[in-house]
A and B are shown apart, each in its own frame.
Chain A
Amino acid sequence: MSDLLDIDPLMMDVIIEHYRNPHNFGELNPCEIKIEDGNPSCGDQIKMTINTKEGKIDDIKFSGKGCIISQAAASILTDMVKGMDIEEAKKITKEQMLENLIIPVGPMRLKCALLALKVLKKALYGKDFVGEEDD
């Protein structure tokens, strides 16, 4: 279960801070890669713009709307991958994403927590993006 009520208040504050003042928020212009996706069932939306340089993610910004988990995850993920090798970023697993989210999320909120990662993978894999089996 996602125990937003039970978690350490300090961790909760970190997440709320990401939600209120997200890192890397906005849109790169010009940008090489621009991609947007959402969870139609709950209306969460994430748009990412990315510029690359010498095989690395040179800069990345996101914008979107939705619940605290989807937006904080995007803030945290964009921090994680800025400056990272593209090939390395492609390999980020769901488990890594959830670990970096700081707070535990339960099965009902997994889609929220993993939306940003899905958008990033779509951006980096381009036409080769196949998605996850359980999407």
Chain B
Amino acid sequence: MDEKSLTDEEIKKIREDFPILKRKINGEDLIYLDNAATTQKPKSVIERMENFLKNSNANIHRAIHTLGYEATTMYENAHKKVANFIGAKSMKEIVFVRNATEGLNLVAHSWSSRFLKPSDEVVLTIMEHHSNLVPWLIMRDKIGINLKFIKLNKDGVLDLKEAESLITKKTKLVGVIHASNVLGLINDIKPLREMARNVGAKILVDGAQSLPHIPVNVKELDVDFFAASSHKMLGPTGIGVLYGKRELLEEMPPFLTGGDMISTVTLQGATWNELPFKFEAGTPAFVEATGFDEAINYLESIGMERIFNYEKELERYVYENLNSMDFIELYGHKAGDNLAVFSFNIKGVHPHDAANLLDKFGIAVRSGNHCAQPLMNYLNMDNTLRASFYLYNTKEEAQKLFVALEKIYKLFNR
């Protein structure tokens, strides 16, 4: 498999791996285009968790018996798998959380409590998902920090000139979404990281949308924190990852506390377990961890570079088609690199009605404000439809979407 992208033959094989793609919705073949919300699971992931439950289930880090040992090994190996997948130095930098949201909350709460004081500044972007905005609004009220927001320039990408003026000596952290769940826009992390480094600020990246689609190496990106969710990259729900540079994680206080995250406890106090377990209080999602591990196996067996290249082809194809339909109002995709994530509306049709009708064609898309209300307001977008593609989607499916969109437009404009 030295092809740069995925071949038709290969996509066919990939589709065979996903049982749900055989489902009929309203009598039609399912066309699943809601991958930015969550992705479907290959057989291997489902079977891996089933096998674990059938053969190895036991709580981790507590038992001397065989099952406990097996479960612990698999749980720790999943950390190592993720560390290797994203290029972290070791599993000490890989904290398992419930999802990207929890990872971002962990940074906002734990890191802030140790390193921020009133009047310090945190610089975010206008396109953050609520998960990298609301925790900082809470920290603003709790600590008295100031928040600043990098907006878009006239091309529709992050305004780096504005970023330069916002990131100052007062800035302690720059937080940025790697790829927008609304626009599909992939943000260039490097210039922001350089600006942050120049003033001694940390950089936090929300990778929920990027890690499933883009080759990511945190060492090359050289960021301080990176958060992502398993369920958006073929894995199960209930598990995600927060990468943090080891020296930072060592200095940060625990976030959630209780069992498994301690070293010693007396009635006078406690000392903390070593990394990453200091941040993993309570019984973690160890069943799901094996599924997450297997999802990475699946992605690696195909190759992230090739997945990314294939999705870039899909992105251009869908963009050119949607852009040429005069009854479609499409947002973004005019500049920069973009994921195959499209926010758009059919003129004169409310997105809820359109999504409802698309479902009749077996097509699953999202409608709403996509948990990014400030961006939607800033761009004067009301609610939109969102179609988001993944490695198992095809141009043929996109064509069926285009046909359905036109039918719906005509239904409302007879």
Contact = CB atoms under 8 A, between A and B. Distances in A.
Nearest to B360: A5
The winner among A5, A9, A65, A112 for most chain B CB atoms within 10 A is: A5
A92 interface: no
Interface stretch (A66-74, A77-85, A93-101): A66-74
Nearest to A43: B383
Interface in B329-386: 349-353, 356-357, 360, 367-369, 382-383
B349 to A, nearest CB: 8
Shortest 5 CB-CB distances between A and B: which pairs?
A67-B350, A67-B352, A5-B360, A68-B353, A67-B353
Contacts of B353: 4, 67-69
B350 A66 contact: yes
Interface of B: 26, 349-353, 356-357, 360, 367-369, 382-383, 411-412, 414
A28 interface: no
B383 A4 contact: no
Contacts of A43: 368-369, 382-383
26 contacts: A1-B26, A4-B356, A4-B360, A4-B411, A5-B357, A5-B360, A5-B411, A9-B414, A12-B411, A13-B414, A42-B352, A42-B367, A42-B368, A43-B368, A43-B369, A43-B382, A43-B383, A66-B350, A67-B350, A67-B351, A67-B352, A67-B353, A68-B353, A68-B412, A69-B352, A108-B356
Interface residues of A, number: 22
B356 A109 contact: yes
A113 B89 CA distance: 55
A9 to B, nearest CB: 8
A4 B369 CA distance: 23
A117 B71 CA distance: 54
B413 to A, nearest CB: 9
Contacts, number: 43
A29 interface: no
Nearest to A39: B352
A41 B369 CA distance: 9
Given A16-B412, A66-B350, A67-B352, A4 B368 contact: no
Interface string A42-54: 1110000000000
Nearest to A16: B412
Interface in A1-31: 1-6, 9, 12-13, 16
Contacts of A6: 360
Contact of A112 (B352, B357, B411, B412): B352
A68 B411 contact: no
A68 B350 contact: yes
A12 B367 CA distance: 22
A68 to B, nearest CB: 5
Given A5-B411, A67-B350, 6 more contacts: A2-B356, A5-B360, A42-B367, A66-B352, A68-B350, A112-B352
Contacts of A1: 26
B351 to A, nearest CB: 8
B90 to A, nearest CB: 42
Contacts of A65: 382
The winner among B356, B357, B367, B383 for most chain A CB atoms within 10 A is: B356
